[in-house]
Structure 1
Amino acid sequence: MALKKTDLYSSLWKSCDELRGGMDAGQYKDYILTLLFVKYVSDKAKADPDSLIDVPPGGSFDDMVAAKGDKEIGDRFNKIISRLAEANDLRNVIDLADFNDEEKLGKGKEIQDRLSKLVTIFSDLDFRGSRAEGDDLLGDAYEYLMRHFATESGKSKGQFYTPAEVSRVLAKVVGITKDTRQDQTVYDPTCGSGSLLLKVAAETSRGITIYGQEKDNATWALSKMNMILHGNEDAEILKGDTITSPQFTNGSALQTFDFAVANPPFSIKSWSNGLEQEYGRFEYGRPPEKNGDYAFLLHILKSLKSTGKAAVILPHGVLFRGNAEADIRRRLLKQGFIKGIIGLPANLFYGTGIPACIIVLDKENAVGRTGVFMIDASKGFIKDGNKNRLRSQDIHKIVDVFTRQTTIDRYSRMVPLAEIADVKNDYNLNIPRYIDSSEPEDIQDLHAHLHGGIPNRDLDALSGYWDAFPQLRDQLFRLNRPGYSDLTIDVSQVQQAILDSPEFQKFTQEARELTTEWFAAHRKRLEGIDETTRPNDLIAVLGDDLLARFKRVPLLDEYDVYEQLMTYWHDVMHDDVFMVMNDGWLEAAKPRKIVVDKDRKLSETPDLVVGTGRSAVKYKMDLVPPDLIVTRYFAKEQAEVDELVMAAEESSRAVEEYVEEHAVEGGLLAEAMDEEKINKALASARLKKARHEGTDADEVAALSRLIDLYNAEAVAKKAAKEAEAALHLASLKRYGDLTERDVQALVLDAKWCATITVRVDSVADSLTLALVERIRDLGRRYTETASAIEANLLAISARLADHFAVLGVG
């Protein structure tokens, strides 16, 4: 069975649990990533004799497994890793974690057990069978760990990792494409663990030449490991402070590159400590002594070739702060170096909660540049724990809009340099000066409150809906007087009226048909999934086509539709594709028995159980869930099971109702009541005693009736259970009769297409609910006029006066 992404994640985080408590995330990440590295290169060396990593005798993961249970396990681990490091010139890279550190890992039996458990978890992973060379399974797992490490480490350690979603945006907007040549260069002067550079490399078809610098020793080692794990063994990652000791130089000049990407530390105060040589970096102005943001930006600008391009993450302050930074900003704008600015949501990064922006530099077209393209993407994100995260739709929209320089109201526009330079703005680049992304104010209409009617301007604001449903407005509203309209139906009937509208039904049907047509166009491609498939390329083709098809649909936001596909891809489809790639359709569809450990604990939740008690066999169906088999082949049997289950539930309700009626104080079953709850055994015992004592005949009859109900319940439950067991067994047997075409039909049509269609339907449904809610709000807001309220108050006052008069109150 192929190693799935979700299984890999689960195993890796389980390994973290073994270490958590003895040290913080900033420390135990070194142990986990070192083991991941050793396991991966050991497996790859077994599968590929030409592997670039030499795994020497005594330096493999198998040697670690052999050390399990040894009293000297920590020392043995250190020696194994040391042999591997020496064989590959990786000293001080993969051997930084001390596996014999008693302070962190415990003493004696504690360290022995902890490391033995740890190596057992990793031994269950098998990277040999992975054929997904176009899909970064290990890279995604590495990112998964880094994200969690950054989350747990907090502000002090979070800077070593740029969120993958932000990295993808930088990689795409910097100008790298599938056609970028392998001999072109990319540089990150503050590369951290290397994730940003690797995202750039992933955008190319043939790779790119990578250069990076990182000053923190442990993080530099992470980056070196990361490059090897991603097949970029030749990447040149050097150590040192980029500003005071740049490592990529040609004598007194900086080495230059085709592309640069960076997420420098924000607003660092000590940037100039120890600075001796400037390398001409500050020709456009010297950054303030207590803020290094522009020091990094100017370093990157100087490190670009004459046609070079860069994308840099910086805090929003660089856009508007004054004094020295204002002078630098003015000169950079006059030179035309700033191509674009993208405002990001707050709380994306692990080292800080403040909002940041991406500044895109482009030397190649600087001379003729007449404006700066700006995007305010601050509203596009999803909450993820205590952080915000860009969704797939947010990433795609940013990249599409930036690449095409598309103007979108309240989101993006090309801002002329003349506007930026005018007296009012004076080269201030604060995005809200140029893009107002705030939602339009919901204005209360005083005239409507006084005289009734819904303002037509509020209805006109819903023009997107009326464009999609041209006749619906006239069906729902009629003119009250110039500028105002009334609902033709009661507010409570609005939702049903819209759902019943032929235009709405046509709209949803067309959306459904568009999804079906899209899937049909790619079905052949999906049928052909095999070991040569590149999952990332596959989903890119599917996603881009879905976006293109829905772009022309009025009202629906194509990016909302795209997000439905991408969420399902990440949750389910990716693992499915990966299994088919590695095992083929038939093999991937086979049920597998779930492992039960010595304590009878399941390693995962079963999809189907055959048998009962200790003889029960539990199965997992990764690719084809049992409900798909049942729906396709056993619909009649499932209906019979459903009927029997309903009958069993009905019989249980009959017992509950009878007990509730009679097992009360003074009731016929009062004597049979137990302190906790009456049951069949108690009822039988009481019946036997009642008959022996010659108790009230009504109680005997009631007890007899209750036992009959219990017996009927038992029979009904048994029938349902037996039918369900028979259905499970028949379903299990059916898996063995499936052909490849059967599996493809089940997965492609009944699973993937059906699920995506339902998800796209939900987008249309949510739009409808939004329209309904808005109309209801407007209808309720202006239903009661001021004069009606006043009349109502007068009537109430008159009634009160009458009451007071009766009471003799003057």
Structure 2
Amino acid sequence: MALKKTQLYSSLWQSCDELRGGMDASQYKDYILTLLFMKYVSDKSERDRSSVIKVPEGGSFSDMVRLKGDKEIGDKINKIIGKLAEANDLKGVIDLADFNDESKLGTGKEMQDRLSKLIAIFDSLDFSANGAEGDDLLGDAYEYLMRNFATESGKSKGQFYTPAEVSRIIAKVVGIGPDTRQDQTIYDPTCGSGSLLLKAAEEAPRGISIYGQEMDNATWSLARMNMFLHNNPTHEIWRGNTLSSPHYKNSDGGLKTFDFAVANPPFSSKAWTSGLKPEDDEFGRFDLGVPPSKNGDYAFLLHLIKSLKSSGKGAIILPHGVLFRGNKEGDIRRNLIKRGLIKGIIGLPANLFYGTGIPACIIVIDKENAHARTGIFMIDASKGYAKDGNKNRLRSQDIHKIVDVFNHQIDLPGYSRMVPVAEIADPANDYNLNIPRYIDASDPEDLHDLNAHMNGGIPNRDIDALEEYWAVFPSLRNELFKGNGRPGYSEPKIEAREVRGVILVHPEFKGYASRIAEIFREWRSSDEPLLNGLSPEHKTKEVIHTLSEDLLKRYANLPLLSRYDVYQRLMDYWAEVMQDDVGMIIADGWVEAARPRGIIEDKERKIKETPDLVVNRNKFKMDLVSPNLIVSRYFTDEQERIDHLRMEQEQAARELEEFIEENTGEEGLLEDAKGESGKITKGDLSQKLKEIGRDPEDADERDALKRCLALMDAESDATKAVKTAQAKLDAAVLAMYPKLNEDAIKVLVINDKWFASICSAIEGEVQQATQRLASRVKELDERYARPLPELEHEVEEYAAKVEEHLKRMGVEWG
């Protein structure tokens, strides 16, 4: 069975739990990533003897497994890793973590147990079953770990990682694509863990030569491992300070130049001149100006530009300050603009990065035809994000919109525009590139109408502002509003709470909803053959790319509905459910992926399964086809009977609860039947019946006790009936799985699961559009419902009543 991405993530983060307490995230990441690397290359070597990484005898993960419980486990793990490192020229890369460090891992039995548990967790992962997609799986797992390590490390140690979402944008706007040749080059002068380089390289399907430099030794080793885990073994990543000691040089001693360059340097570095005399720079990087000695932002930008070929293209992430700060930086900026080197600027939301909370921007550099450039394309993407814990995160829709708009140079009011250099050079702007100067992304002010507040009525101006809705539902306006006798003002025809209901049943809305549904059906019809034909030749990322791009195209230019919102619904479902499903089908086939698997109960690993994936008391797990899907298609009558029995059970429980409540408390007929716990049980009731016997004076109490017993029996019988019926249905469902052939499984998964869920999500977007209209109409109604004279009159009436009450109390009100 192929390894699921969610399963892998869970195991990796569980392994981190074993190390928490002895060290912080910036340290234990080295241990976790080293074990991930060892396990992956060992499994891959067993599957493919031609693997680039050679696993020598005594240097595999299997050798580690045999150490579980060994008193010298830490030292022996170090030796196993050392053998693999030596055999592959990886010394100083994968052997930085000391598995025999008592200060971090504990002493004696504590270290022995901790490392044994760690090895057991990784031993449970089997990468050999993952085929071509396995490399993507590991690369994504690496990103998952790095993102979480960066989050836990905090601002001081989180700069080794560029958020994958930002990396994707840079990769797609820098100019790499299907036409990029394998012999072309990409370079990152401050490559960190290598994630930005790899995302850019992914955009070149034929391959691209990777170069990078990283100053921090531990982060450099992460980058090297990352390259191997992403199946890029021919990379060149060097250690050293890029500014003072650039590694890549030509034979004449000048800087080596590349076709593409990307970078996310440390923001506003105060020590950038360490080991460097900028005024005497041998590489001529500062001929456009020398940056301030206490701020290295422009130093990295100028180095990147100098490292590009004459037609080279690059992108760099920098704080917004580089766009508007003056003095030396202002002079450099002016020279860059005059030479036409800046192709575009993309303003990002604040709090995206782990090393800082300040907003940053992407500056896109393009040397090709720079002399003829007459404008800079700007995007203000500062508002497109989702909250993710204490950070902000770009969603799939935000990334796609930025890339679409930038690459096609689309002008969108309040979002993007091509800004002429003449406008930037105008004395009023003086080469200031601060994005708000050129793009007004502020929300329009919601102005109140004083006349309406004084005299009532809703301003027609506010109703006219909803024109995008009236264009789709032309007669709906007259259903909701009517004139109130005053020119320029209207009043509602219906109560505010009824507006949404009126919209939903309106013929024009029904027609609009039908149009959306038809587009979905066309998309489904077009892409269903792809899903029906899933096989080992497919890759999950190519599948979702085909589905999502087609969806985006079909939902383009629809009124009231953003195609990017629809796209996000698909991408969310893909991330949550469909990605794992498709991955299993590609790796194992439809029938094997749908086969129920027994659950191994392991208290140490704390395996937990969600109820909808489990039948028969957690004995089996269904990953692809949940029991609910089978019930909905094959056992609807049985489920209806259980639902009916459950309603009877709830009714019986309600009657019992109400009867006990009515007959307890002071002088209640059941009060004396309570046991020591304060509750009433069948045993307590039977005992009380024996005590009172047949005494006529206790007839009422005796009847109440018997009635309560009868209600308890009824509830018990109802509960038992539900359990019996549910057990019978569970058994029938489980027995159904072996009977499902491939065609039946496809119907359950593609129709009943995937398309049904996506359709529901898109319908949710349509409902939100109506909700926005209904909410605005209600807001306007409530805002002007009571004019000021009416409110003043009411205040006067209340004041008179208060004054009258005070007089009666003998209080003079002055």
Task: Tell me the TM-score range normalised by the shorter chain.
Answer: over 0.9
- Counterpart of 1:343 (choices 316, 338, 347) is 347
Per-residue CA deviation, residues 509-553 of structure 1 (Å, 9 max, x unaligned), is 322222222122100001111111121111111111111111121
1:469 aligns with: 473
Per-residue CA deviation, residues 429-467 of structure 1 (Å, 9 max, x unaligned), is 000101111111111111111122212221222222112
Name the CA distance, whole Å, in 2 between partners of 1:600 and 1:379: 41
> How far off its partner does 1:633 sit?
0.2
3-state DSSP class of the match of 2:379?
Answer: strand
- Counterpart of 2:379 (choices 371, 375, 378) is 375
Per-residue CA deviation, residues 647-678 of structure 1 (Å, 9 max, x unaligned), is 11111111111111112220111110234211
Name the CA distance, whole Å, in 2 between partners of 1:637 and 1:355: 57
> How far off its partner does 1:806 sit?
7.4
2:165 aligns with: 165
Bigger drift between 102-111 and 762-771 goes to 762-771
3-state DSSP class of the match of 2:739?
Answer: coil
1:763 aligns with: 765
- Residues 261 and 311 of structure 1 are in contact (CA less than 8 Å); yes or no, is this contact kept in structure 2? yes
> How far off its partner does 1:38 sit?
0.4
- Residues 134 and 536 of structure 1 are in contact (CA less than 8 Å); yes or no, is this contact kept in structure 2? no
Change (3 A) 1:782 1:601: closer
Change (3 A) 1:410 1:691: same
- Structure 1 letter corresponding to 2:750: L
Matched, 1:263 2:264: yes
- Residues 345 and 380 of structure 1 are in contact (CA less than 8 Å); yes or no, is this contact kept in structure 2? yes
1:663 aligns with: 664
3-state DSSP class of the match of 1:515?
Answer: helix
> How far off its partner does 1:468 sit?
2.0
- Residues 612 and 628 of structure 2 are in contact (CA less than 8 Å); yes or no, is this contact kept in structure 1? no
> How far off its partner does 1:503 sit?
1.4
- Counterpart of 2:564 (choices 545, 559, 564) is 559
Name the CA distance, whole Å, in 1 between partners of 2:48 and 2:470: 61
Matches within 5 A, 1:633-652: 633-652=634-653
- Structure 2 letter corresponding to 1:553: L
Name the CA distance, whole Å, in 1 between partners of 2:614 and 2:177: 49
- Residues 261 and 313 of structure 2 are in contact (CA less than 8 Å); yes or no, is this contact kept in structure 1? yes
Give aligned pairs, total.
806
Per-residue CA deviation, residues 105-128 of structure 1 (Å, 9 max, x unaligned), is 010001000000000000000111
3-state DSSP class of the match of 2:418?
Answer: strand
- Structure 2 letter corresponding to 1:636: D
Matches within 5 A, 1:63-102: 63-102=63-102
Name the CA distance, whole Å, in 1 between partners of 2:417 and 2:678: 70
2:275 aligns with: 274
- Residues 172 and 399 of structure 1 are in contact (CA less than 8 Å); yes or no, is this contact kept in structure 2? yes
1:734 aligns with: 736
Matches within 5 A, 1:596-611: 596-597=601-602, 602-605=607-610, 607=612
1:38 aligns with: 38
Name the CA distance, whole Å, in 2 between partners of 1:770 and 1:606: 35
Name the CA distance, whole Å, in 2 between partners of 1:691 and 1:408: 87
Matched, 1:119 2:119: yes
Name the CA distance, whole Å, in 1 between partners of 2:395 and 2:588: 31
3-state DSSP class of the match of 2:285?
Answer: coil
- Residues 615 and 621 of structure 2 are in contact (CA less than 8 Å); yes or no, is this contact kept in structure 1? no
- Structure 2 letter corresponding to 1:29: K
- Structure 1 letter corresponding to 2:503: I
1:679 aligns with: 681
- Residues 335 and 367 of structure 1 are in contact (CA less than 8 Å); yes or no, is this contact kept in structure 2? yes
3-state DSSP class of the match of 1:742?
Answer: helix
3-state DSSP class of the match of 1:644?
Answer: helix
> How far off its partner does 1:770 sit?
1.4
- Counterpart of 2:786 (choices 770, 779, 784) is 784
3-state DSSP class of the match of 2:555?
Answer: helix
Name the CA distance, whole Å, in 1 between partners of 2:414 and 2:92: 51
- Residues 220 and 239 of structure 1 are in contact (CA less than 8 Å); yes or no, is this contact kept in structure 2? yes
> How far off its partner does 1:791 sit?
3.5
3-state DSSP class of the match of 1:736?
Answer: helix
- Counterpart of 2:416 (choices 408, 412, 418) is 412
- Residues 127 and 134 of structure 2 are in contact (CA less than 8 Å); yes or no, is this contact kept in structure 1? no
- Structure 2 letter corresponding to 1:215: M
Name the CA distance, whole Å, in 2 between partners of 1:423 and 1:509: 54
> How far off its partner does 1:414 sit?
0.6
Name the CA distance, whole Å, in 1 between partners of 2:712 and 2:591: 46
- Residues 132 and 581 of structure 1 are in contact (CA less than 8 Å); yes or no, is this contact kept in structure 2? no
1:589 aligns with: 594
Name the CA distance, whole Å, in 1 between partners of 2:374 and 2:20: 54
Name the CA distance, whole Å, in 2 between partners of 1:27 and 1:599: 24
Change (3 A) 1:676 1:220: same
- Residues 615 and 627 of structure 2 are in contact (CA less than 8 Å); yes or no, is this contact kept in structure 1? no
Unaligned runs of 5+ in 2: none
- Counterpart of 1:386 (choices 390, 413, 434) is 390
Name the CA distance, whole Å, in 1 between partners of 2:518 and 2:628: 25
Change (3 A) 1:135 1:495: farther
Matches within 5 A, 1:396-795: 396-480=400-484, 481-597=486-602, 602-605=607-610, 607=612, 618-674=619-675, 675-691=677-693, 696-795=698-797
Name the CA distance, whole Å, in 2 between partners of 1:120 and 1:710: 49
Change (3 A) 1:726 1:286: same
3-state DSSP class of the match of 1:21?
Answer: coil
3-state DSSP class of the match of 1:721?
Answer: helix
3-state DSSP class of the match of 2:90?
Answer: coil
3-state DSSP class of the match of 1:158?
Answer: coil
1:312 aligns with: 316
- Residues 26 and 157 of structure 1 are in contact (CA less than 8 Å); yes or no, is this contact kept in structure 2? yes
> How far off its partner does 1:561 sit?
0.6
Name the CA distance, whole Å, in 2 between partners of 1:718 and 1:135: 51
- Structure 2 letter corresponding to 1:226: N
Per-residue CA deviation, residues 339-393 of structure 1 (Å, 9 max, x unaligned), is 0000000000000000000000000021111110000000000000000000000
Name the CA distance, whole Å, in 2 between partners of 1:653 and 1:120: 49
- Residues 608 and 618 of structure 1 are in contact (CA less than 8 Å); yes or no, is this contact kept in structure 2? no
- Residues 594 and 603 of structure 1 are in contact (CA less than 8 Å); yes or no, is this contact kept in structure 2? no
Unaligned runs of 5+ in 1: none
- Residues 609 and 728 of structure 1 are in contact (CA less than 8 Å); yes or no, is this contact kept in structure 2? no
3-state DSSP class of the match of 2:183?
Answer: coil
2:204 aligns with: 204
Name the CA distance, whole Å, in 2 between partners of 1:621 and 1:597: 18
- Structure 2 letter corresponding to 1:75: D
3-state DSSP class of the match of 1:639?
Answer: helix
Q: What's the Cα RMSD here? A: 1.7
Matched, 1:52 2:57: no
> How far off its partner does 1:792 sit?
3.2
3-state DSSP class of the match of 1:160?
Answer: coil
Per-residue CA deviation, residues 17-72 of structure 1 (Å, 9 max, x unaligned), is 00011001011000000000000000000000111110000000000001111000
> How far off its partner does 1:789 sit?
2.5
3-state DSSP class of the match of 1:249?
Answer: coil
Name the CA distance, whole Å, in 2 between partners of 1:679 and 1:300: 79
Name the CA distance, whole Å, in 2 between partners of 1:741 and 1:52: 40
- Residues 609 and 618 of structure 2 are in contact (CA less than 8 Å); yes or no, is this contact kept in structure 1? no
3-state DSSP class of the match of 2:589?
Answer: helix
User: Percent same amino acid among aligned pairs?
Assistant: 61
3-state DSSP class of the match of 2:701?
Answer: helix
- Residues 585 and 744 of structure 1 are in contact (CA less than 8 Å); yes or no, is this contact kept in structure 2? yes
